[in-house]
Structure 1
Amino acid sequence: MTRDYSQLFPGTTPSPTPASRLTQLGWQGFFATQVEADALARTPPVRVTEVHRSGLVALGEDIEVEIPPRDDLTVGDWLLYDADSPKDSVRLDRKSLIQRVAAGRLKYEQLIAANVDTVFITTSANADFNIARLERYVALCLNAEVEPVILITKPDLAEDPDTFVERASEISARVPVLALNATAEDVRNKLADWAKPGRTVAFLGSSGVGKSTLTNALAGTELETRGIREDDAKGRHTTRHRQLYLTANGPAVLDTPGMRELQLTDVAAGLSELFEDIEDLATRCKFRDCAHETEPGCAVQAAIAEGALDPARLERFRKLAAEETHNRETIAEKRAREKGFAKHVKRITKDKPNRR
């Protein structure tokens, strides 16, 4: 039987049998407008829910399929599934993309997740709490046009949890901050403003801060959870790969492994939004090329002298901006070398005489 996909398009009258599973997967009008209804019947939409070295797992309205490994896909991507040639399934344009520079000496972009609506940046009210690291996550989200929300877990273990909330709230007026116990019964209610049907939410943060516990609370899963080491508050890895979970009456929920290193690239727009206070001050400096150090008429240094700007925030901004520029240029050079080498191989292959 050919499934009727007409109800998936904006402005259409729902059919008697709504596509509930696609709604659970996060199907939205943004994706529906990219394809005609008759095309969906031939190549039904599926969403990548797991990525493994051996291949991808993707779910659709009434199908579960495996797709050969592809470097251009990540968890959350939507595909038009080609049953005759799964590896050639067409990826729909992304609503958002979260990526980082992969850890290690080799600089390359690592895809984290696609088509996420809200990221819950998760940290604990203990030694894991780090303003500089939280700023990295926020810049990453803002650049991807994903809504960031900071969650501070384990407040019951802190003498004054409100202090952690206050410090996190200073990062950006655009970012809500909540303190919550990941094991409490009110998790769903506290996250209800963001955890709605048809949306996709993700938990990002270090290991041991409660991401899997929060995923269990929202998605009704039974993921393994482990505590932190008492001596240094470092977490133990429990989640081994990124996976998207469906909920009956809520959002699609992405659980991710802890990230101890988060290097940024191509997030200039996100940094501008995150540090808009500093960039606004810079427009008032006497000199357009002001380095905000000892120049006369520097509005940034004046704000520091007046106590309106924390000098540590300025230093963090400088560090992130320099890192972002370095990584972006390094990756661009790597791409150029690879492109040049590919052209060289193609030219040699073309000029090489055929041997019989």
Structure 2
Amino acid sequence: MSATLQALGLDGSTADVLLSFPDLVPGRVSRVDKGLATVLTEDGPVRATWSGALLAAIAADPQAGPCTGDWVVLRFWPDERITLESVLPRRTTIVRAEVGGSSRGQVLAANVDVIAIVIGLVPEPRIGRIERFLALAWESGARPVVVLTKSDLVGDADSIADDVAVAAPGADVLVCSASTGFGLESVRALLDGNATVALLGSSGAGKSSLVNALAGVELLDVQAIREDGKGRHTSVRRELIVLPSGGVVIDTPGLRGIGLQESGEGLAAAFPDVTALADLCKFKDCSHVTEPGCAVRAGLDDGTLPYRRYESWVKLQKEAAYMARRADARLRSEMKKEWVRTSKSYRRDHKPRP
């Protein structure tokens, strides 16, 4: 394992997989454009197009396409073409429901160690939105951390952090200011060991300013938030950045929509308090509305479970279940289409001769 690839975040399991491709050049995807990827290699960045095998894989499963953070292998051709031959197995994957209501998921980034959910303290954070980000982050397999920025603009940052911590069980909550440097050492510690940290958050949360502060140089453009308090899109694509001090950051554009792809471990991890109560209900299929022996309703009645948090959990459960049903319907439709194609092909190839 070379020092250059280690600096890019190469881990032992991925290094072992690379041994299966002795004739190809390894690298990590820095950014993806339409049909073209910038890949960081031991000899520097290169631009690569998709191989025929990769195009076939993408046709079968759009999520097989390269994304920022992927480890890949490249082939350098005599005519100076470079093709991306294969995407290596992903350790972690950040997937959200595609914008526009599709039942397919959109891969935001891969092979991430820590997901920093960047939330600006101005305007006041929306707890429900943070819970949504946390469900997405826990589902990825990476470690979620909530990073509250712009602490220099408020006088009660610690109080807000305490409120956020209640809604983020199991996740660290850090407070910092990119302008003054307050709290940046705790954020920088997330990158120890050449770790990969993905920044997720809404526009105007301060992701680009945070990257610049961590790097010590102005790597990314920043813009002030609008007069109505909404952020402006500064980052326009997902991009992997290797910091001079060590570690890798994946900066992402501001997310207006954070659709959950399906119900899984992410929701359970984001709402362990509600899940623990649900496990105590008298009936396994309890809807937590009117059934007798419902531990969730009991928690609401005695005040141990905040009603706001319960409502947030119910909303995300319904959304994730809906997306799971849509995905199942799509898979059934695709299987039916494949069966029809196979049947037509069989009848054509085995048509009786006159």
TM-score, L = length of structure 2: 0.87
Partner of residue 41 from structure 2, selected from 60, 64, 74: 60
Partner of residue 30 from structure 1, selected from 7, 10, 13: 13
1:76 deviation in Å? 0.5
Is residue 95 of structure 1 aligned with residue 91 of structure 2?
A: yes
Distance in 1 between the 2:334 and 2:320 partners? Answer: 21
Give runs of aligned pairs for residues 219-258 of structure 1, distance below 5 A: 219=215, 220-231=217-228, 233-258=229-254
Give runs of aligned pairs for residues 128-147 of structure 1, distance below 5 A: 129-147=125-143
Partner residue in 2 for 1:43: 24
Partner residue in 2 for 1:73: 66
1:83 deviation in Å? 2.2
Give runs of aligned pairs for residues 248-287 of structure 1, distance below 5 A: 248-287=244-283
8 Å CA contact 1:140, 1:267 repeated in 2: no
1:130 deviation in Å? 1.1
Which stretches in structure 2 are left out of the alignment for 5+ residues?
51-57, 350-354
Is residue 164 of structure 1 aligned with residue 145 of structure 2?
A: no
Is residue 124 of structure 1 aligned with residue 120 of structure 2?
A: yes
8 Å CA contact 2:113, 2:142 repeated in 1: yes
1:158-210 Cα distance to aligned partner (Å, 9 max, x none): 24222320111012331111111122335541213311242101110000111
Instruction: Give the counterpart letter for 1:33 in structure 2.
Output: D
Give runs of aligned pairs for residues 325-344 of structure 1, distance below 5 A: 325-344=321-340
1:35-66 Cα distance to aligned partner (Å, 9 max, x none): 42xx5542121111001114111111114322
RMSD of Structure 2 on Structure 1 (CA): 2.2
The alignment covers a number of residue pairs equal to 333
Instruction: Give the counterpart letter for 2:158 in structure 1.
Output: D
Instruction: Give the counterpart letter for 2:76 in structure 1.
Output: A
Partner residue in 2 for 1:194: 190
Instruction: Give the counterpart letter for 2:223 in structure 1.
Output: R
Of the structure 1 ranges 103-112 and 65-74, higher mean CA displacement relative to structure 2 is found in 65-74
1:344 deviation in Å? 3.4
Distance in 1 between the 2:264 and 2:99 partners? Answer: 20
8 Å CA contact 1:116, 1:201 repeated in 2: yes
% identity of equivalent residues: 33
Partner residue in 2 for 1:293: 289
Which stretches in structure 1 are left out of the alignment for 5+ residues?
1-7, 9-18
Instruction: Give the counterpart letter for 1:31 in structure 2.
Output: T
Instruction: Give the counterpart letter for 2:46 in structure 1.
Output: V
Distance in 1 between the 2:177 and 2:331 partners? Answer: 44
Distance 1:267 1:193, change over 3 A: farther
Three-state SS of the structure 1 residue aligned to 2:308 is helix
Is residue 112 of structure 1 aligned with residue 93 of structure 2?
A: no
Distance 1:265 1:258, change over 3 A: same
